[in-house]
A = this chain, B = another copy of it.
Amino acid sequence: MTIETTVELEGHIIDSGIMQRAFGIIMDMGGTFHVEQFDVGTHKNETTYCRMTVSAESEGLLLPILHELHQNGATITEPTDATLEPSPSSKVVPRGFYSTTHHPTDILYEGEWISVENIEMDTAIVVDPTTKTASTKVLTSVDENDLIVTGEAGIRVKPPSRPRDSSSGPFGFMQGGVSSERPSESLIKKIAETIKATKKQGGKILVVPGPAVIHSGAGDDLSRLVQKGYVDMISAGNGFAVHDIERNLYGTSLGMNITTLAHPRKGHKHHIYTISEIVRAGSIKDAVEQKIITGGVMYECITNNIPYVLAGSIRDDGPLPDTITDTIKAQNAIREQTQKADLVLMLSTLLHSVAIGNCLPSTTPTVCVDINPATVTQLLDRGSSHAVGVVTDVGMFIPRLAQALLDE
């Protein structure tokens, strides 16, 4: 017996690779397809439309295929309203709930497509029938009786198309490619232009710095960027803040291990003394007010009212009183930042960048700088439409970026 369904794909589906991925999914998962209509975009401003019947030998085979197609932008023809089921109790989702992608998503509710707010991967969609709005909730935030979307009917996912004209606009260069002529220099200039354009449009810039920013000597230049208004939010870990403050208090930072730049060894007295000074003062803000801290990135954040999130980890010393030790609360704080961000700069921190990336919609432009190409690849490999990776030494990147933004 053969089961079949008709699905549609529309957009720049060939040059975005969506069409290729769709054919791949069907064949890899044991299905077959019959293309019924295919209107190719004849030039670069036209979209392509494809309608095809997908079939498999059993419903058990067909459903996962449709799920995967769906997550990659296919819609079922003649859609019906999304199915809603109430949550049986706090933190518990109904069986078969729809788990989101990080792409823009609509659901069909009472015959109308409504956009899902705060889109983020691996969340549930909760509908508010009073306001007729839909938004995402992570499992730990689900309340009893929340109306949760289940199944895959009435859901429309829109993976970002590759912009057809890569030369225009400040984000035009964000196609993953690295220009061949003086790549580091030219990339930094383009990133500086993008930052300026974002600020000009009133956008917010979220910076995600790792401890290597301090070890590599780029702390002063990041401080200048905070001071001059080029950083709207900072998302970091306990380690970044401690190293930044240690440098201000003791003029040192942990000795770098040349083979493991990003993971300095524990065991240095100044590090733990820095923490105990801030604990004694009460908080970073208190330590700034008590003139214990007199400079550095955290100092500039306090002085210029730049909000920051310091997320805790089981590898932390201390931690500082400002560090959010509950990982769920820390995730929620990060989530607030990512939903506000119009541009994200990930600076030499795989771990925090992954956490940020988990909460980011696929449409937020992201710049990822790391000396390890595997880190850059991993962070870019998330289907974002606007993302650029720079494999370089953050200790030379930030000073050069500061120069491009402040001195030129």
Contact = CB atoms under 8 A, between A and B. Distances in A.
Contacts of A23: 14-15, 44
Nearest to A316: B327
Interface string A80-115: 000000001001110001010110000000000000
Nearest to A185: B217
Given A184-B395, A314-B334, A178 B373 contact: no
Interface in A308-359: 311-319, 325-328, 330-331, 334, 351-352, 354-355, 358
A199 interface: no
Contact of A267 (B30, B41, B122): B122
Contacts of A382: 265
B354 A327 contact: no
Contacts of A400: 396
A40 B41 contact: no
A78 to B, nearest CB: 21
A351 B16 CA distance: 34
A227 interface: no
Interface string A248-264: 00011111111111010
Interface residues of A, number: 119
B263 A354 contact: yes
Interface of A: 14-17, 19-20, 23-24, 26-28, 30, 32-36, 38, 40-44, 50, 52, 67, 71, 88, 91-93, 97, 99, 101-102, 121-122, 139-140, 162, 164-167, 175-178, 180-186, 215-217, 251-261, 263, 265-267, 269, 271-273, 275-276, 279-280, 311-319, 325-328, 330-331, 334, 351-352, 354-355, 358, 371, 373-374, 376-378, 381-382, 389, 391-393, 395-397, 399-400
* Residue of A30, A44, A102, A271 with highest tally of chain B CB at under 10 A: A44
Nearest to A19: B14
Given A258-B376, A327-B314, A330-B314, A67 B371 contact: no
A190 to B, nearest CB: 13
Contact of A42 (B35, B178, B396): B35
A-B pairs with the 7 shortest C-beta distances? Answer: A182-B217, A15-B23, A396-B396, A392-B393, A312-B327, A314-B355, A38-B40
B389 A391 contact: no
Given A269-B99, A325-B326, A374-B374, A32 B17 contact: no
